[in-house]
A and B are shown apart, each in its own frame.
Chain A
Amino acid sequence: MHKLGQMDLLFFGIAKDIVGTSQLDMFFGEDSPNSVAELKQALKKRYPEFSKLTSLAIAVNSEYASDDVQLKANDEVAIIPPVSGG
């Protein structure tokens, strides 16, 4: 269980380079994002590099999550920059 305002995030690819680590327990305080849209906004505010990417997706519990998905404590939340497999 996380403290209020705290969120454990996974980062991959260029997102990992932008924040400098693959896993980060991020403290948002009172601005803690409640939805996927708010999380994207918060990330872009803290790391402007995210705004320069071709796209930015969020996965919640290893499924792509649309902007309106609400984030719950203990969700596994991952930051998905443009994929480039194959």
Chain B
Amino acid sequence: MNKIIEIVQDLDTNKVYQELSHPSSGGICVFVGSVREFTNNEQVMALEFETYETMALKEMDKLADTALEKWKLNKVVIKHAVGKKEVQDAVVIVGASSAHRSECFEACRFLIDTLKETVPIWKKELFKNKSVWVSAHP
């Protein structure tokens, strides 16, 4: 299996090296998105993620296929967490491995940038006195 696509409650960042490791790969590139404490100087208590899971998995699968067509990759990982996440928790992992580094670097950037645009997952920022759905309003 050259791709791993998952939506999980808690992300285990320790697994990703094994998952991307491949005898033909000389480079492994991983991006991990995590909960940041401040948004525009306002303190974030937590983020809450929800998803339309069947569609999100389909869209993530399409992303992986596009990357596998576009670059010569041996493995691709796309995982996203849902539920309430605290500051410093990992919320998304994308990664790719390839013979040389440039392919996996480019693929990784494509995976996270496109995930943010197309995959039906929604993030709510929980502040002390309010909560806001990110990007909902212009």
Contact = CB atoms under 8 A, between A and B. Distances in A.
B134 interface: yes
A13 B91 CA distance: 17
A83 B120 contact: yes
Chain B interface main SS type: mixed
B77 interface: no
Interface in A14-69: 14, 17, 52-54, 59, 62-64
A85 B80 contact: yes
Interface of A: 10, 12-14, 17, 52-54, 59, 62-64, 78, 80-86
Interface of B: 33, 49-52, 54-56, 58, 80, 91-92, 112, 115-124, 133-138
26 contacts: A12-B51, A12-B52, A13-B50, A13-B122, A14-B133, A17-B133, A53-B137, A54-B135, A63-B55, A78-B120, A80-B120, A81-B133, A83-B117, A83-B119, A83-B121, A83-B135, A84-B121, A84-B123, A84-B133, A84-B134, A84-B135, A85-B121, A85-B122, A86-B115, A86-B116, A86-B123
